[in-house]
Structure 1
C-alpha cells in the first residue's frame, strides 16, 4: 500500500512539473508572439488548515500576482521612414528619408506617442559598409548612404543606427513607405479629413498642384491620397511647420482607421497591403501586434518634435542645416520616453537626501530615470536628517507616489508639514535606503 501511494504521488508530482514546464515555455513564446497579451497564471491563495493564515502561492516565471508595474520593457519603438522614391524608380535605389519619426507604443498605458525627427538635423550617420564608422551629414541621408555603400541591412539599418547613435533611443522595428504606398493606403481609407489650421500655398514646386491654385485653404478639408501627400510634403514655411502638418495627417489616418473598424482587421489588411511598405516585422508577429493595437487609445496620440531643440546653421559645404541644443533635445527625449501615466500627473518630485548623501541622491535620480521619471521632474534637496524616511504624497498624485514606493525600500508616509514646499511628491531617503527593481 505504501509503495502504491508513493507511485501515485510520483505520477502526480511528475504531471504537475510537466504542466508547469509547459506553461512556462508557453509564456515565453506568448510573450514574443503576443506582446502585452501574453498568458499568465494568477497566484492562488492557500490557507493553513484550521487557521485563518493564508498566502498567495505563485509559480516563478508564470504567475501574475497583480497589475504589472511600468518598466522600460513596456515600450515598443518603431522607426517610420517616408522615402522620396518617385513612381517608376527602382526599389533598391539610394533615396533620402523625406520623413522620419519614432512611433512608440506604451503597452502598459495603451498609448501611441510620436517623436518627429527633423530631416535637416546635422548628425553622425553610418559611413561605408562597416558599422561604427560615422560621418557628419543630415540625418535624412542615412538611408541613402546605407543603400549606396551596402551597409549591413541597407538603408533601413543605417537609419536605425543613426537614430540610436545620436538620440539614444532603442529601435525595435522599422517601417519604410514611399510616395506610391502612402497614396495607396490613404485612398484605401477613402481619404482623410483634416482641420487645416492655416492657409498655405506653394507656387514654386509641383507639391500642391493637386489643390486649386496650388493652395490648401484653412478649415476642414477632405483629402485623397495625393492631396494628403502634397500637404505632408510642402515646406515653403520650413521643415518644422511641415512636421506639424505630418502629425495632423497621422492623427487623421488614425481617426479614419478607428471609425472604419480597421484596427480589428489588421491581419487581413496586412496581407492586402504588405507590398505598400517594407518592414522587419515578421509575419508571425502580426496577430499579436493586432491584439495589442486594439488596446491602444488612438484618440489620445501624443506628439513630440525635436524641432523645438534645433537652431539654423550652415555646414562647411554650404548646406542649410539644423543644429541641436543637446540639453533641450535630450530633455524632449526624456519626456517622450517617460512613463505616460506619471506624465499625466505632471509631478514635481523632491528627493530629500540625508547629510552626506549626495552620491545616493545621484544614484536615485539615475534609478528614477531608468523607470520613466525624467531628471527634469526631480529636484534634489539637502536634508538636515530630520523627518522619517518614506514617500509623501503631498498634493494627491497617487499613481506617481505608488510608483515611487515600488522603486525604493520605503513606505508611504502621511504628510506632516515638514516637507519642502512647492512639491507634489517627496522622497525622503534614509541612511542606506535601498533601490528596488519593480516586478
Structure 2
C-alpha cells in the first residue's frame, strides 16, 4: 500500500473519529439541556455495538453520560410535585390582592410509573406559615392564609411563594412548581372543555349561601350530572357538610376534568392550549418547559389517578382567637404522606415486609428501614423483627410480589432465596439481614 493511500485513509479515519467525537459531545450537551427542556423525558442513547477490526467479535459500548444500560429503577427523583392553589379572588378584584387559597392540593407526577397522585390539604389545617417578608419567620394560622400573608407582606415569590414555603415546612414535601387559579379562570377552563360529567354520590343542598344558586332549588341531585363551569365551581366550593367532604367533591371534579381532557385528545395539545389559556392561571413553570411536560403528560395514565387527603389525620379544635381549626395527628399525617410519596408500583402490590435482623442488629434494622423508605417503600409496610440468627441472609418472596422483590435486590446486598422454614408468618416478603449486610443505591438493570 502506497504512503499516499495510507495517509489519505488515516486522514479519513481522523475525520470520522472527529465527527463521532463531535456527535458524542453534542449528545452529552443535549442530554444536559434536555433535562431542562424535557424534564423526565431526557434523551437516552442505547449502547453502541462495536466490532474488533478483522474479527466477528462485537461488544456493546456504553457512552458515558449518554447511554442508558437498562431500565431505570425508581428513585425519589422520579417525583414531580406541583402545588395547586385555587384562590377566592372574585371577578373584578385586583390581581395583586391578598386572597386566601380556597383549595390546596399537591399534584404529584411519578415519571417512572407514569402515574398521577393528588394529596388534598384541608384549608383549616392549623400550621406554621410565613410571617412578614423574611423566609424562616413563622406564625401559626390556617394554612390557607399563607397565600394572603405572602401577598400582603410581599414575601419572596408573593402568595404562591409563601404557600409553597408553608407546605414544605409543615409537610416536608419538596415542591417543584406551583399553579394558581381563581374562580374566573376555573369557570373558563371547564367551559373550554364543554363542561364535565360527574357521578354525584349523594344529594347536597345549600340554602344559606349563593354557592349552589346555579342549580335548581340550590340542590345538586345524586347521580350522573353534566356541569358547566359555574356549576362545577359551585359543586367544588359547597361546604355545608364540612371541609373534608368538600375535598372529596373537589377530587371528583379533578377526575372528571382529566377524563374529559383525555376523551377530547387535549393531552396531545398541551402546548397549543397553554398558549390559549396561559392567562387563566399563574404559575412559575417556564414556557421553555412546556414541550417536555407535554411529552411527559402523554405517558401518564389519567384513568388511574390516586387521591389522598390529610383530612383523615385531622381533628377539630379552636384557636385562641376563637377560629374553628383542624389540628393534625402528626403520626397519622406523616403515614399518609409516606404512602402518597411511595413507589406506586410497589404500592400496587401492597406488600407486607419483614426485616429480620441478626442478634444485636437493632441499628442495622433501623438503617435498613430508613433506606427502604428513602426509595419508596412506605414504613407502614415494614416490620422490623429481632432475629435469633437461625435464618440464612437473603430475600424471600413468600406470596409473589415480583416488582417489590426485584426492587429490594437493588436496595440491599442480598440475593433472592427459597423459603427455609425460618421466615416469620404473615408476611409477603422477608428480608433476612446478615452481619454487615450492605445498603445499595439502585442502578439501572437491577
TM range (shorter): over 0.9
After TM superposition, the structure 1 = structure 2 runs for residues 346-365 of structure 1, keeping only pairs within 5 Å, are: 346-365=350-369
2:110 corresponds to? 106
1:29 to 22, 25, 33: 33
1:229 corresponds to? 233
Give 5+ residue unaligned stretches, structure 1: none
Alignment deviations for residues 380-403 of structure 1 (CA, whole Å, 9 cap, x no partner): 111222232111111100000000
Q: CA deviation at 1:44?
A: 3.5
1:192 to 180, 191, 196: 196
1:159 corresponds to? 163
Scaled by the length of structure 1, what TM-score is found? 0.96
Indicate yes or no: 2:175 matched with 1:171: yes
2:432 corresponds to? 428
Indicate yes or no: 2:129 matched with 1:125: yes
After TM superposition, the structure 1 = structure 2 runs for residues 230-309 of structure 1, keeping only pairs within 5 Å, are: 230-309=234-313
Indicate yes or no: 2:23 matched with 1:19: yes
1:406 corresponds to? 410
Distance, in Å, in 2 between the alignment partners of 1:410 and 1:183 is: 55
Distance, in Å, in 2 between the alignment partners of 1:374 and 1:32 is: 30
Inter-CA distance 405–46: structure 2 relative to 1 (3 Å threshold) = farther
Scaled by the length of structure 2, what TM-score is found? 0.95
1:328 corresponds to? 332
3-state SS, counterpart of residue 406 of structure 1? helix
After TM superposition, the structure 1 = structure 2 runs for residues 215-226 of structure 1, keeping only pairs within 5 Å, are: 215-226=219-230
1:319 corresponds to? 323
1:416 to 407, 420, 424: 420
Distance, in Å, in 2 between the alignment partners of 1:4 and 1:260 is: 60
Distance, in Å, in 2 between the alignment partners of 1:197 and 1:394 is: 39
Q: CA deviation at 1:348?
A: 0.4
Distance, in Å, in 1 between the alignment partners of 2:65 and 2:240 is: 55
1:68 to 62, 72, 80: 72
3-state SS, counterpart of residue 73 of structure 2? coil
- The count of corresponding residues between Structure 1 and Structure 2 is 439
Distance, in Å, in 1 between the alignment partners of 2:239 and 2:89 is: 18
Distance, in Å, in 2 between the alignment partners of 1:397 and 1:3 is: 62
Distance, in Å, in 2 between the alignment partners of 1:127 and 1:339 is: 35
Alignment deviations for residues 90-112 of structure 1 (CA, whole Å, 9 cap, x no partner): 00000000000000000111111
3-state SS, counterpart of residue 203 of structure 1? coil
Distance, in Å, in 2 between the alignment partners of 1:305 and 1:409 is: 36
1:202 to 197, 202, 206: 206
Inter-CA distance 45–378: structure 2 relative to 1 (3 Å threshold) = farther
Give 5+ residue unaligned stretches, structure 2: none
